[in-house]
Structure 1
């Protein structure tokens, strides 16, 4: 599931496995208002997903928040471990349960590892996470709480070690094993449900702006809308915009040079969640088939977007603000590219996941009106 296609792959390029369905057997009314009585979240969409044999945690069903007329934020921080990765891991852990694996192994210093550990614990499986020593405090707390085995190793050594663990211990890999990103075949299937939920609320938007690392979420959202078109429920797929850190941007490099995937050097950036040096073919496919393109955003643009979300009551991880940062960075191009309808920016994770969380300190204040009044005036609050 994570090794790519053995017939088309080479030492430099790996092509991912994709899941297909008998769409003629999709139940009528699956996307009707209220949906079937079978379940909520991912369970509602079971006819269009791999077998969900792993128990769920209430993942999916996240809110679509309207920031201003026609601009919506899909807030994935409302998932059980506060990120979009819960949609992926409900499906990948189901694969592990389905084949009788004793556990899973994942290379991640962020949301993927925290989520995999949660779903492994729920399924009664062991979880090994190859992480960085400087993983965010919230992520390390998640991993400790769920009883994951955390192995802090340098990024360059993670994939070879994953292969050894898979071969010698029999754990099921739920993250990548290839030089260009393929990921787990079931992963984007979970991400499709983001598109389903957007569609049931506002129909097909003009565009979806997606924080992008390896491009799995981008591809999953595109596939979800493509399935809606295939089922005769939608007449088009929205334009997809991949929003990558300007310090790297392998998907933008692949599109720019006409390659199926690219590898780039990554400069300094605080957007650790999407600072990937390699991309994958799925991201290229998503942009090509939707008529979208790759956007590069600076850390300054990310901080501005994160601040804008916070002023609207949404605390997003810096990487998660890339969707809004990409939209704001377009400026007048938004209208020039025909984005006159509603647009959706996906926010993938909670601000609790940033590395700076826990580093802020405040000095105690004397409980006297003079001191309190002074601080209120400093904040622009007069009374």
Structure 2
């Protein structure tokens, strides 16, 4: 794909759309004009929408994976991809669909983001990539850096699951487990002193990378191709980047004349944190919270960002809190439907069930499932007890499972 395929024109402040910036370099610390010491406002990528060809972009022919499929409505993609996207939409009951993002190359939604952020690093000629991550984001960044031939430094926490640590090392990343609170200061030093391109947040409240959430718009594009515009989308939420990307994707479909509305977007957060929920309760653009104990480490975030507030408010959705029991129930329900998900990834379905759980009359609902069960902390610790090789033992176990009478 040629860089010129992109219709991206620049970057625009979400804090005040009157403030815009050139497309390059990508802003990795939010809008410098509207942000304060307390709140950092992100920027988004703007496009020449009038030059887009909606009929060609959203033809009914389903393409193979790779974000280059959507190149005109994404930032430039000079970095090579891994066939990300084109994940299945699975109907688990009438009107309730699960968008299974575990089918991406590194088994999570983060591949859509990192195709864009790695391309930004390549575009500015960065000598490498730096990221602070507890799991999915780091593994994905390491894979896309390796694909682009760039070194990758990953600051992880002291309790990173062993399977995730092995995943990171497999891609040749420099993995540095440090105390959680040390990750951000060290990340900033690596960026400032070595010139590595940051693909993690650098600000007080979350802004993240300017280009990253643009990759998440493709989730909305694919849902639209499969079922049109659903009545609602339930999204596992930490910082809110996926939430924003899904909303913006549907908003672009409306802007291009392909859809007449945008679905309600529901943020589904861990009750152990709930920074976005707090921001709404306080009428604030972002909030800080103390994170409690939870196994849903991928979405247990101490800080939110303005992207999530904007997406939920503009769509008429809500910020929902789900606890570990609700998450485990949803994870079990997904497993019985044949979908093995990380505990955090089940937050979308848990959020739907917390509201009564049925598809509304005004259309189907979609629950995004973000990653594979491979990423859970307990992965690899369970061992099934060996069975004595006799019919009596086999029958006993089958009876216990309700299979034999």
- TM-score bracket for this pair, using the shorter chain length: over 0.9
Counterpart pick for 2:321 among 292, 296, 312: 296
1:160: how far off?
A: 1.2
Q: Is 2:286 the counterpart of 1:261?
A: yes
Give SS of 1:113's match: helix
Counterpart pick for 1:14 among 37, 40, 44: 40
1:40: how far off?
A: 4.1
1:157: how far off?
A: 1.4
Gaps of 5+ in 1: none
Provide the residue aligned with 1:125 in structure 2. Answer: 150
1:369: how far off?
A: 1.2
Provide the residue aligned with 1:63 in structure 2. Answer: 88
Equivalent pair of 2:273/2:291 in contact (CA under 8 Å): yes
1:136: how far off?
A: 1.5
Any idea what the Cα deviations from partners look like across 1:143-178, whole Å, max 9, x if unmatched? Answer: 110000011111211111111101111100001000
Give SS of 1:346's match: strand
Q: Is 2:124 the counterpart of 1:99?
A: yes
1:246: how far off?
A: 0.9
Give SS of 2:260's match: coil
Equivalent pair of 1:241/1:294 in contact (CA under 8 Å): yes
Any idea what the Cα deviations from partners look like across 1:77-119, whole Å, max 9, x if unmatched? Answer: 0000000000000000000001111110000011000000000
Equivalent pair of 1:116/1:127 in contact (CA under 8 Å): yes
Q: Is 2:58 the counterpart of 1:31?
A: yes
Q: Is 2:165 the counterpart of 1:140?
A: yes
Equivalent pair of 2:161/2:377 in contact (CA under 8 Å): yes
Q: Is 2:394 the counterpart of 1:372?
A: yes
How far apart in 2 are the matches of 1:340 and 1:317?
30
Provide the residue aligned with 1:179 in structure 2. Answer: 204
**Which is worse superposed, 20-29 or 86-95?**
20-29
Give SS of 2:340's match: coil
How far apart in 1 are the matches of 2:362 and 2:355?
13
Q: Give the 3 Å change call, closer, same or farther, for CA 339–150 of structure 1 in structure 2.
A: farther
Counterpart pick for 1:3 among 7, 13, 29: 29
| Runs of 4+ deviating beyond 4 Å | none
Provide the residue aligned with 2:179 in structure 1. Answer: 154
What are the equivalent positions in structure 2 for 1:1-383 lying under 5 Å apart? Answer: 1-27=27-53, 28-34=55-61, 40-331=65-356, 340-382=362-404
How far apart in 2 are the matches of 1:311 and 1:40?
27
Give SS of 1:134's match: coil
1:363: how far off?
A: 2.4
Equivalent pair of 1:207/1:339 in contact (CA under 8 Å): no
Give SS of 2:137's match: helix
How far apart in 1 are the matches of 2:206 and 2:361?
30
How far apart in 2 are the matches of 1:322 and 1:242?
9
1:362: how far off?
A: 2.4
How far apart in 2 are the matches of 1:13 and 1:339?
39
Equivalent pair of 1:137/1:353 in contact (CA under 8 Å): no
Give SS of 2:167's match: helix
TM-score normalised by L of structure 2: 0.91
Equivalent pair of 2:66/2:81 in contact (CA under 8 Å): no
Give SS of 1:20's match: strand
How far apart in 2 are the matches of 1:178 and 1:339?
42
Provide the residue aligned with 2:18 in structure 1. Answer: none
**Alpha-carbon RMSD:** 1.3
How far apart in 1 are the matches of 2:125 and 2:292?
41
1:331: how far off?
A: 1.3
1:339: how far off?
A: 5.7
How far apart in 2 are the matches of 1:259 and 1:382?
57
Equivalent pair of 1:210/1:322 in contact (CA under 8 Å): yes
1:141: how far off?
A: 1.4
Equivalent pair of 1:226/1:237 in contact (CA under 8 Å): yes
